[in-house]
Structure 1
Amino acid sequence: MPLETWLLLGATLILCAIIAVRLSHRAGLPTLLAYMGLGLLIGESGFGIRFDDALLAEILGLAALVLILAEGGITTNWRNVRPSVPAALAVSTIGTLISIVVVALAAMELLGMGWQLAFLLAAVLAPTDAAAVFSVLRRLPLPSRLTGLLEAESGFNDAPVVIVVITLSVQNAVAPNLLHLLVVMLYELAAGAAVGTAIGWLGAQALRRMALPASGLYPIAVLSLAVGSYGAAAKLHASGFLAVYLAALVLGNARLPHRPATRGFAEGIAWLAQIGLFVMLGLLASPSELPAELLPALVIGFVLLLVARPLSVVLSTPGFGLTWGEKLFASWAGLRGAVPIVLATIPMVNNVAGADRLFSIVFVIVVVFTLLQGPTLPLAARLCRLESDERARELDVEAAPLEELHADLLEIRVPHDSRLNGVEIFELRLPKGAQITLIVRDGASFVPEPTTPLRAGDTLLVITTEEAREAAERRLRAVSRRGKLAGWFGETGA
């Protein structure tokens, strides 16, 4: 097929996927379903394109997951996640192990699977999916502690599961030495965390101190550092998934120039990775084999949703201050997506007996239970009384370095529900060295007076010295969240 035909088909497929995004957003569904549907449509049972290379699917799938995790880390707000990190670590480790044991026992008892295939199935289904979690939960007005827990969990739990899946994905496997497996897991997680944090911190320090000749280079540098941390960790036999997420988290929350542009670039790359990944997984599936696995998939899916997931959340989070409503919602919001399907290709590549059946079961579970859980999350949030408007008051700050002046130019848009609305300039009490120099309102720009009130939708241009920048950002964030008396409420804007 000539190049121009491939380019036309690829562009058409991407445009169809973009249209599908809008439709899935209206329905409250993760976009993965639309993308996998496109893959099935153009596959062997549709337009006849055949794709059955499990090894290539594994390689491309893991590469796409790296990009998706990088975007997740870059766009995650550390302030929201930080209070939830201990609970997220508990759910992504202890909770994951609980889920694996419960689902594996159910698979052996209810489906008659051997121990190896049962534990592989359970391990593959254990992690929540970053792409699914980010695409659905970030549209819901949930408390930051809860979204922080679910986002951090989806970023953390891939790492231990990959270790278990690789360990079990050998022909004629024998039961692994649990102590050895635990030691390996602890090393890989600790080393991966160290590599990712170090690369993220060093990269942030370097980017802060240099002025690149074009703003478009900052997003490329940030994403390259995050992706590079995966390779660096893998070379040390450490967890690359944890490394890339933590490196991206550090870089995404550092005070770097052009942060909104970096987030936008990362989101675009992640969307492209998701489209390619889910279409490919749809191509890899064999529709003729899926109906036979519908009943087993429903059995295991309901065990996972109604037994394993709630147990893993409840038993791994005592003492973390979560309400029963938050635990209930977290149990229902454990969305599965690309990660389980990609992990299911690992046993296929290693020719594990029953791997094709495992892939079909996982594929059906992801599709059916995403359809069940995704649209019902807003209702679940209301029933659990968890809706919150605090996210609407967060500020996005675009920074551009003015290197020769030793200053920064901040561009800030006042959100609709921000408590900056109505605050006069002098009431902001910005630190010395920071000044609002221009306001853009309704398409017109003007230089404000000290008594000029801010309005929702305003774009503010703030000039700050390098020393005052961080304090100015904190003050603006604090007022946006709690109003001009933010200090009285203990709000620091951190």
Structure 2
Amino acid sequence: MLSANPSLLIVLTTAIVLMLGALSQWLGHRFTVPPILFLLGSGLLLGNQGLGLIQPELYGTGLRAIVSISVAIIVFEGALLIDLKELRHCSRSVLGLVTVGTVTTFLLAGFSAHLLLGLPLKLGLLYGAIVSMTAPTVVIPILKRLHLNRRLETILKAESVLIDAVGVLLTAAVFSYISASNHGVAGGLLQLLVNLTIGGAIGIGTILGLKAAFTRAPGLPGDQVRILVLGAVLLGYSLSEALAHESGIAAIVSAGLMAGLIKLPYKETILQFKGDLSSIALSLVFVLLAADIQLDQVFSLGWQGLLVVVLLMVAIRPLAVLLSTWGATLSWGERFFIAWMGPRGIVAVSMATLMAMELKAWNIQGSEPIAPLVLLTVILTVLVEGGGAAWVARRLNVMPKKILIIGCDEISRRLGSQLVAEGEAVTLIDQDPEPVRLALSGGLDALLGDVLEHETRLGLAWCQALVAATPSDKANLMICQTLRARFPKLRLIARVNDPKYEEAFQAGNIETITLAEAAATSLSTLVLRPMTFPLLGFRSAGNQIVETPVESARCTEIPLSRLDLPKDCIIALLKREGALDIPNGSTTLRVGDIVTLIGKHEAVEQFRTRLGGDS
């Protein structure tokens, strides 16, 4: 019956693809695994080489249009999230990874594919351009689980976001050259320049046109805004392609970057662009690609294809990182971990799918291995680099020491949430299942049981501090006394509920905070110093007060008056060799100092990064 109704077959196939996409996203969230693995796995299982339930050829010539629209949505979303104004605040390592690192990966990966697989050099370089992009959809969830030190997390997150736009433009540029290279090198370069110019102009013009339209039509409902943006972006893509074939991707990237750069009305609404539409686009691209892959094409790559991917992971990526971070004050452990964290993902597969279709449409010979090679690259890098990230981070000691909180009641959960918001790695533990459940539902890392039962798992000897914060003073005192005997160097902090127990804690060299005293101090601060209170109480939107060490020699031996502090940030206190001082314009910093910064969140984080040694 279905075979006699091709339209119904297409509808059924689309329904299966969308359901698999939703299921894959849920499984990824449930098991904290990149959803891309489930998307590709389901496509392979139900595709032409599996059960045959998904047959991409049913879409005919429409498949190319579906993939083009999906890639346009995915690429626009990625570019939209990049704030070009933040580039001037980026560390030299991030800029190096996005520029030097991209070029190094592009060239070496391209030449390795050319030499080992026999791909024509132009097609080898196309592979190099595609795999020059790491994947924010893989990297960022991994970073959330690992709780790396702030500097390293900032570098990896910024690289994965920024490099997508660079890699997409590079891929489009290489393909433009390939498609026009029949006219010689000069003709290929000329076509590349034309494509980038036309695509860039149309993309920028599209966003400026939207801005003018939105300015003249205030009060539009959010759903209409998103539909207008989608229509305008696809219109710009189509117009660019009509004027100069293969210039559409350049138009999409420039539109996304422009939308992130200017003050665009309804910007917050537009940022929701990545919702359902992106999920649909991801499902279509990944599942249909995997369903269409012939496994014999992957196996036909042989040991040479496997070697290309291994070289990318163990030689090319590390060399690119070494060159990119040359001169930055990163430890070798941090450099090695950046080199390890190079998983490829959504945008790489999307571009590979689109390029494979375009190469076939242009009848360019020898291009068949590119899609399976990119697929192999994504699978291996996600499994090996993504899966082994936690193990490598622990061995390299790039994860900050954990803060352990004993107790999961309301006070403990609030404390945990505040510390997590400050970038700390926090674990709560309690013997009562209900508070543990509430902590887990609030996004906190929590364990059920006794602290000594989980001593090895918690790594008590390596904790930054332990906070005994149960409602029972006797329990808190017993825990602290036991741990003081076993771990003399561990910093112990106790919540004291009844002031009469405070002396007992202090006799054991345990730092304390008495709830009654804390409440009284907070109330007096609110009464006498109302402008200071929000900073101390984590209530001031956009403001921040932090203590941070000085690690960068570039910030030392320069008077503060000439240090070019961000506009909304001040150095309030300076601690040197245990002594506190209030700095002035002639004060100079030294490596090892600890400073207290007060100001707007972005300004404080910007200067904190500079002090961290990666400016």
- Report the CA distance between 1:195 and its aligned residue: 4.9
Residue aligned with 1:216, SS: helix
**Which stretch shows the higher mean deviation, 321-330 or 11-20?**
321-330
Could you say if the C-alpha distance between residues 115 and 364 of structure 1 is closer, same or farther in structure 2, counting changes exceeding 3 Å? same
Could you say if the C-alpha distance between residues 201 and 90 of structure 1 is closer, same or farther in structure 2, counting changes exceeding 3 Å? farther
The amino acid of 1:313's aligned partner reads V
**Structure 2 residue aligned with 1:374:** 386
Residue aligned with 2:344, SS: coil
Contact 1:108 1:115 in 2 (8 A): yes
Give the structure, 1 or 2, with the largest relative contact order (CA under 8 Å, sep 6 or more). Answer: 1
**Structure 1 residue aligned with 2:177:** 167
User: What CA distance in whole angstroms lies between the structure 2 residues aligned with 1:204 and 1:95?
Assistant: 35
**Structure 1 residue aligned with 2:607:** none
1:105 and 2:111 equivalent?
Answer: yes
Could you say if the C-alpha distance between residues 334 and 230 of structure 1 is closer, same or farther in structure 2, counting changes exceeding 3 Å? farther
Residue aligned with 1:355, SS: coil
Could you say if the C-alpha distance between residues 19 and 311 of structure 1 is closer, same or farther in structure 2, counting changes exceeding 3 Å? same
1:219 and 2:219 equivalent?
Answer: no
Gapped runs of 5+ residues in structure 1? Answer: 395-414, 431-450, 459-474
**Structure 2 residue aligned with 1:29:** 33
User: What CA distance in whole angstroms lies between the structure 2 residues aligned with 1:6 and 1:289?
Assistant: 26
1:276 and 2:284 equivalent?
Answer: yes
User: What CA distance in whole angstroms lies between the structure 2 residues aligned with 1:192 and 1:392?
Assistant: 40
1:340 and 2:448 equivalent?
Answer: no
**Structure 1 residue aligned with 2:313:** 305
The one of 358, 368, 385 equivalent to 2:398 is 385
Contact 2:293 2:372 in 1 (8 A): yes
The one of 17, 24, 38 equivalent to 2:42 is 38
**Which stretch shows the higher mean deviation, 292-301 or 327-336?**
327-336
- Report the CA distance between 1:284 and its aligned residue: 1.5
User: What CA distance in whole angstroms lies between the structure 1 residues aligned with 2:36 and 2:263?
Assistant: 32
Map 1:306-321 onto structure 2 (within 5 A): 306-316=314-324, 318=326
The amino acid of 1:219's aligned partner reads R
Q: TM-score, normalised by structure 1?
A: 0.69
Map 1:77-156 onto structure 2 (within 5 A): 83-84=89-90, 91-92=97-98, 94-129=100-135, 131-132=137-138, 141=147, 143-156=153-166
Could you say if the C-alpha distance between residues 164 and 251 of structure 1 is closer, same or farther in structure 2, counting changes exceeding 3 Å? closer
Contact 2:43 2:289 in 1 (8 A): yes
Contact 1:203 1:251 in 2 (8 A): no
User: What CA distance in whole angstroms lies between the structure 2 residues aligned with 1:233 and 1:319?
Assistant: 41
Could you say if the C-alpha distance between residues 357 and 188 of structure 1 is closer, same or farther in structure 2, counting changes exceeding 3 Å? closer
Residue aligned with 1:491, SS: strand
**Structure 2 residue aligned with 1:478:** 543
**Structure 2 residue aligned with 1:492:** 600
Deviations 1:425-484 (A, max 9, x none): 997869xxxxxxxxxxxxxxxxxxxx999988x9xxxxxxxxxxxxxxxx72224989xx
- Report the CA distance between 1:274 and its aligned residue: 0.3
**Structure 2 residue aligned with 1:349:** 361
User: What CA distance in whole angstroms lies between the structure 2 residues aligned with 1:359 and 1:198?
Assistant: 33
- Report the CA distance between 1:20 and its aligned residue: 2.0
Q: How many residues align?
A: 429
Could you say if the C-alpha distance between residues 20 and 425 of structure 1 is closer, same or farther in structure 2, counting changes exceeding 3 Å? farther
Residue aligned with 1:363, SS: helix
- Report the CA distance between 1:11 and its aligned residue: 3.7
User: What CA distance in whole angstroms lies between the structure 2 residues aligned with 1:334 and 1:284?
Assistant: 26
User: Pairwise CA RMSD of aligned residues?
Assistant: 4.6
The amino acid of 2:107's aligned partner reads V
Gapped runs of 5+ residues in structure 2? Answer: 402-417, 424-441, 445-521, 548-567, 573-596, 603-615
